[in-house]
Structure 1
Amino acid sequence: LPRPLMIAWGDLFRYRGDRNQAERFYAMAEEKREDAQDMARSGGFSVAVEDFLRRKEYAEAEKLIRRWQRELPSQRLGGYSCYLLYQVYKARGREDQARRLAQIINRIDPMGVYARKMAAATTQDAP
């Protein structure tokens, strides 16, 4: 399968809550990536995104998170990139997207640290 199709299948299983199948397809996609970015390996993505968030450059932060998740699709299973994307959605007033992301991550990784952080923040914001 081509890499984009593997990622799409991983996304489908992620939305359905099937972590094992999502991990399988994301791992295959990561093995096929054409050029592993030094930034991804060194944690540079998170540092750069955090910097954009501090400067309130939310559009740039979101673009970089999307790139990070394209290069390392397994991040979509509740990794730090999901938590940062959640923060971007909240900062941009996209509450529905933030809530939906929190629900997906809670379903796929209920005991994960970022799932719990998103759930706690979503609960605090509830009326």
Structure 2
Amino acid sequence: MSNGNNAPDARAAEEARAIRPDRDDSAKYGVEGCCVRTFWAVVETDGTLVRGRNVARVARLEDGVYEVVFTSDVSEGVFVATIGRPGIATEPPGEITVALRCCLASPEENKGVWVDTHDSNGRLADRAFHLVVHTH
């Protein structure tokens, strides 16, 4: 859809304007410029909190299943986790998944993150991990 000189033709330009979010939607896409809060935890294989920021508590619920509860609501945040030792050694390879922790009672409601760690074959297995949450 070009007029031959690398400039879009009028129809292509109109289509591009039609699919671009208008400026009134900027807050919906996180263009607020203010007040990102960070929560993080480094957790040992047995569920012990090694270090962190804004962490209320951590628990190992069963093999490879953990909950990390923070001091404030994280339900609108982004959760990023990686398998890794808290020190200089490396953790055995595996996989990690995260989600908002369901069904915690008040006053912990919406403050928890569910973390599952797996071995390389996909079986639940204890792994040390690092978790970061960014929210507004």
**TM-score under structure 1 normalisation?**
0.24
Q: Point out the structure with the larger helix share.
A: 1
Which protein, 1 or 2, shows the higher relative CO under an 8 Å CA cutoff with sep ≥ 6?
2
Q: Point out the structure with the larger strand share.
A: 2
**TM-score under structure 2 normalisation?**
0.23
Give the greater-gyration-radius structure (CA). 2
